[in-house]
Amino acid sequence: MTRFAAPIAEQIWDMKYRFKQADGKPIDQTVEDSWRRIARDLAKVEKQPDVWEEKFYSALEDFKYLPAGRITAGAGTARNVTLFNCFVMGTIPDSMAGIFDMLKEAALTMQQGGGIGYDFSTIRPRGADVKGVAADASGPLSFMDVWDAMCRTIMSAGSRRGAMMATMRCDHPDIEYFITAKSDPARLRMFNMSVLVSDAFMEAVKNDGSWELKFGDKVYSTIEARDLWNKIMQSTYDYAEPGVIFIDRINTMNNLNYCEDISATNPCGEQPLPPYGACLLGSINLARLVSNPFEANAELNDEVLNDLVATAVRMMDNVVDASRFPLPEQAQEAQNKRRIGLGVTGLADALLMLGLQYGSEKAAVQTEVWMKAIARASYLASVELAKEKGAFPLFDKDKYVNGGLVAHMDDDVKEAIAEHGIRNALLTSIAPTGTISLYAGNVSSGIEPVFAYAYTRKVLQKDGSRTEEEVVDYAVQMWRDKFGDKELPDYFVNAQTLAPAAHVRMQAAAQKWIDSSISKTINCPEDISFDEFKDVYMQAWDTGCKGCTTYRPNDVTGSVLAVSETAENAPGEKPEDHVTDGEVIYMSEPLERPQSLEGATYKLKWPDSEHAIYLTVNDVIINGHRRPFEVFINSKNMEHYAWTLALTRMISAVFRRGGDVSFVVEELKAVFDPRGGAWMEGKYIPSILAAIGGVIERHMINIGFIEGEGMGLKTDPKAEVIAVGEAPRGKACPSCGQFDMRMIEGCMTCGSCGHSKCG
C-alpha cells in the first residue's frame, strides 16, 4: 500500500523531497523514510529524543503536518543548506559602499536558496545631489537592475531559481518610476514588487487629498493622492504588479512593534520581516483532519487539531536551532525572536467536506473559527515551551501582552503569556503551498479555492514518450470514492467562477487570527472594469487585510488555463470543473532538417589562442517563430577538434528536440576553466565554453527566441497546439512544458510539476 493519494504526489516527492546520493541513488526508499529522517533530526535537541521522534513522526504521517519544502528536503541530510524559507535583508545604506555590501549579502543568501526581500526606499532618488563627487544620484531603480543581474548570475551558476521582493514607500520621490518599471517586459524579471502604502496615504486617497513625495527632510513634489493610487492600480491592472502592502497596519498588529520596524516582506508577502529577519514555514493540512466528510455530522475535531498544532509548533521551534544561516546577523535575529510561521493548506477542500461553498459568508465564519483555534493552540503551545525551555530573549511582558495580535487574544491566553512568557514571538502565517499541496495528494493550496477539480497532465516517460494521467482534486476524489457517479453538489465552486469579493472575504476572515500575513491571489476576470478592479483593493483595505495581490489574465500577463467547453466531464461536473490542456503535440521526436536554413556565423577570438573559432547557428521556423535548429563550430586549431565536434553534435541534437533550449546557454556560461578565463569586451568570461555560450545567447536574442541576457523564452515555440474546445492561452511551464501555469498565492506555479517562479 502506498501512502500517496495520487501518482503526482509520489512524483513530486521523488523529484523534490526524497533524499538521494549525489549520483541520484535514493537514500529514502519510501516516504516513511523521509518522515523518519525529518522526525529524528528535529527531535535530537529534546531531552527525550526517542519519545519526541515518535510524536513528530505521527504528525508527519499521512501528510497531516507539512513542513515547508526546505525542511522536508533538507532536515537530517547534513547538507549545508538553510531550512528557513525567507529572509528580509539589512537596511540598504544610502552610499555606494553600503549598497554593494548589501548586494554581497544578498548573493550569499540566495546561494543557499533563501528568498529575500529588500526595501529600496532608503536610497536617494534619481537626480538628487551626491555630495563630494559633483554628480547626481541614479536612483534606487538603477541599483535594482544590479540586484536583478546578480540574481540571474546566481541562477546561471546552478543554484535554484532566485526569488526577490522589492518594496518602496508610497512617498518616495521615485515611486512613479517604481510603479511602472515592469511595463518593460525585459526589466526586473527576478523581482516581485510591492508598494508600501501607509494609513495616511489611504486616508488621502479616500478624502481626495494631496500627497508629498519626499526623501529625508526634503519635499521633492506634491501630487494628488488619488492620481498616484490610480497609477498603482493601472499598472497592477495591466501588468499584475506592483502589489500593495498596508505597511502601517502590519507594524501596528506586529507583536514585536516595541522592538522592531518592518518595511519589507519575503517574496510572496506572507512574512513581513525586520532587517535580517528570517522565518520558517509549515502548514496544517485541514483536508486530512475532517471526519465523516460530506455527511451531516462532518466535523474537524478540535482536540485532534490542538494536539497537531502543539506538535508542529515544537518541531518548528527546534528548526530554529537545527538550521544553518547564510549570515550571522540572520542567525542572531532568528535566535532573539524565534519567529515561526505555522499556516494551513487544504482549507477549500475541508470546507467542501463540510458542505460549505468557498467564499460564502458561512465559509468565512468557519474559516475564522478554525484560524482562531489554530492561533490559540499555537500560542498556548509556545507558552508550554517557554515553561520548559525559556521565553524568546527579547520578550517584554507588559509590551508584548498589550500589543499586536496578542492584545486581541482571549484573556486566558494573555494571562498564560504574562505568567510564563512565550517561546516564539510570532507564530502564524499562511504561505504558498503549491508544491507541498501536490505532494499531499493535490489538496487545495493554502487558503486558495480549488483551481480546477480535475485536469489532464501529460507525463514524460524515460523513453521520451508521454502518457496522460488525470489529476483530481483531493476532495473531489474523496467524493468519487464515496458516492461514485453521483452529481457534485452546487457548493463545489472553483477559482474560475468565484467573484473577487469572495476572495477578499476569505482573506479577511483568515487574517484576523494570523499574526504575520497571508499569501493569497485574488483572481479577477479579464473583462473586469478598471473601477471594479480598484474596488477590490479598497475592499481589502476596508476589511482589515494587510496587503492585496490580484491576477487579471490579459495579453501582457498571460492567462490561466482555458476551460474546454467540449471536453468530456465526469458525471455531475460542470464544464468549468474539468480543465483540459488541449491536444498538445510536443517535439519529442527530432524534426527533420529542411532543405535550406537561414543562419548567422560568428567569429570568436579567444585570447592566447592561435586560431579563431567560427560558430554558425542555423534556425528553423515553427508556427511563425524562429528558433535555433543546429550549430556548427569550426577551428583550425586541431587541439579543439574532438571537443568542438562533440559539442556541435550534442547542442544540435538538443536544439532539434524542441522546447526551451535556452538552458544550453546557461549551462555553457556556467563552465569555469581551472586554468583561468579571460576578459572580453569589458567582461570576465570564465572559459572558452562560456564564451561560446555567450555567442549562442546573443544569437537567440537577435532572432527573438529569448528576451535578453539571462532571460527565458520570449515566445513559446515549444509545441504546436491543436485545440479541443478553446486551447490554453497561458504560458508553458519552463520546467516540464505543460500548459499548466497558474497564479497561486502570488506566484506563477505549475500544477503539473510544482515549478514556481518563487522557487
DSSP, collapsed to helix, strand or coil, labels residue 551 as strand
The one catalytic residue in 86, 151, 170, 268 is 268
Nearest to 270 by CA among 474, 434, 440: 434
Q: How far apart are CA 24 and CA 480, in angstroms?
A: 37
Please state, as a whole number, how many other Cβ atoms lie within 10 Å of the Cβ of residue 134.
7
248: three-class secondary structure by DSSP:
helix
Rounded Cα distance, 312 and 304, in Å: 12
Beta strands 290-291 and 299-300, pairing class = antiparallel
Q: Which ranges constitute the DSSP H helices of 355-455?
A: 361-389, 397-401, 411-420, 434-439
Q: Among this protein's residues, is 266 annotated catalytic?
A: yes
The residue type at 31: V
Upstream peptide bond of 185 is cis (omega within 30 degrees of 0) = no
DSSP per-residue string spanning 624-692: TEEEEEEEEEEES-GGGHHHHHHHHHHHHHHHHH-S-TTHHHHHHHT---TT--EEETTEEE--HHHHH
**DSSP designation for 26:** B
DSSP tally for the chain: helices H, then strands E: 23, 31
- First-residue to last-residue Cα distance in the chain: 32
Nearest-CA neighbor of 31 among 43, 18, 15? 18
Q: How do the residues of the chain divide into helix, strand and coil, expressed in percent and rounded to 5?
A: 40, 20, 40
C-beta separation of 162 from 103 below 8 A:
no
Residue 31 gets the label, from left (phi > 0), alpha (psi -120 to 50) or beta, of: alpha
Distances (CA, A) of 716 to 74, 147, 660, 731: 34, 27, 8, 7
DSSP state of 162: P
| Neighbour tally for 586: CB within 10 Å | 18
What's the one-letter identity of residue 346? G
Single out the residue of 238, 178, 168 nearest to residue 201, CA to CA. 168
Q: Residue 682: left if φ>0, alpha if ψ -120 to 50, beta else—which one?
A: left
If DSSP codes are grouped into helix, strand and coil, which group holds residue 293?
A: coil
Extract the C-alpha cell encoding 715.
515566445
Calculate ∠ Cα 679-685-690, nearest 5°.
Answer: 150
Q: Give residues with Cβ within 8 angstroms of 465, minimum separation 6.
A: 588
Q: Which of 270, 333, 448, 745 is catalytic?
A: 270
DSSP E strand stretches across 198-320: 210-215, 218-224, 243-246, 264-265, 272-273, 278-285, 290-291, 299-300
Q: Which three cell numbers stand for residue 568?
A: 468530456
- Report the run of H or E that residue 199 belongs to, with start and end: helix 199-206
User: Among 373, 375, 382, which residue's Cα sits nearest to residue 429?
Assistant: 375
Query: CB-side exposure of 516: number of CA atoms within 13 Å?
Result: 30
Neighbouring-strand partners of residue 626: 621
Instruction: Check 254, 266, 424, 618 and give the catalytic one.
Output: 266
Rounded Cα distance, 86 and 88, in Å? 7
Q: Which residues are catalytic?
A: 266, 268, 270
